[in-house]
Structure 1
């Protein structure tokens, strides 16, 4: 990668390369604030944040930025053909007598493998009848096999359209699931817990149940009611075909015996959605208050 020619992910988010996670997250939020999720820029900003907010991915990306552009090792000297065609001679720049042009080197290799074409002068050689080395044939076979394997691999990868559709489905599921997962009423705790569990994977359900035991111990005594509202906004943190991370902004109105008037808390909620069969379920959830 040559950062002098290609804008970096830092350029995309308009932050310095040594920017903190908080600065990157703030720049990402500002960049997607007014964009529709179907906008191409929306996805580009999300992908940039996905890399730069992951310590391992960011370290690898920074190392890639710092690496000098490598054009590969210089090719070794090739045998100079004694009779290049006029077309080869005319189109190749001069590199000095010891380094024939790429076209001439390719033509010579082709002569060695297949012999000269009709009407093409034969190359004079001090060892006529020389065969193609076995190691070269093996090397070519390995290259061809690798190319075929690569084509098969990429043919089986999900398309961008499939990933986008899966991501949108996960986002919609997260917006629906976050309301029952974050809500409960001291009078209906068992029903509320069962409704929340239906939105979760089995792994996350175990963690949620441990937290809900504390709620069961305290809510009946305090008369607490928490009602989450549908998300004010949401955005994709990480996209994928089977696992997607979404950021949501949710208001939660809370009342209890001591405070009958609702107190509204605004939370930033990061939800990881996992595809299970044909459903998208909550596999992790973290909340943090939004600064006023």
Structure 2
């Protein structure tokens, strides 16, 4: 039995044909490249995206400052005294404060002692009683008057007052001379207490309290009042005079 010779196969590949029988155009090289995995054609947007992805995050002032702190090294810590030196420093301060306190105490006692020695009102009782009596008598005279005898009071004031006390009293009594006769005013003053606060040499400072009683016209009940004065007195040729009067 004879075998049939093998059929020759044409090397020409069959062209693709559609269902309608039309021949399809061969695929373009670009399509083959896309299908083979070459990827899409790069665009500016895609390049920018790739740059952001590969370049890392955009630096900010905060990140730059953090980088500077990380590269500049640690900040040096403030210098603290050695623990062994602290007790010595505190001891020195304590000594200085104690010395200052002692000095202030000594100066205070010295000033008090000097003031006490200069103020004879605390040590010289006869001199203190003398100035207190002289001032009390003077005030009783110049702050007591009758509407029909004002000249008597004026003469007494001229005798016991000097300086600013005499000037201010004269201005005040000028009103009394005018008003007292109209109201038939009679004023009586009596010193109830005196306190010699300072007595040095021929000068004294006193605090004086007065009780006053005033009768007007035919009034049966007198009006009473109290007064307080700061008095300065000066001794001239052995006699005490009132040189200043300040109501308090």
* Structure in which a larger fraction of residues adopt strand: 2
Q: TM-score, normalised by structure 1?
A: 0.42
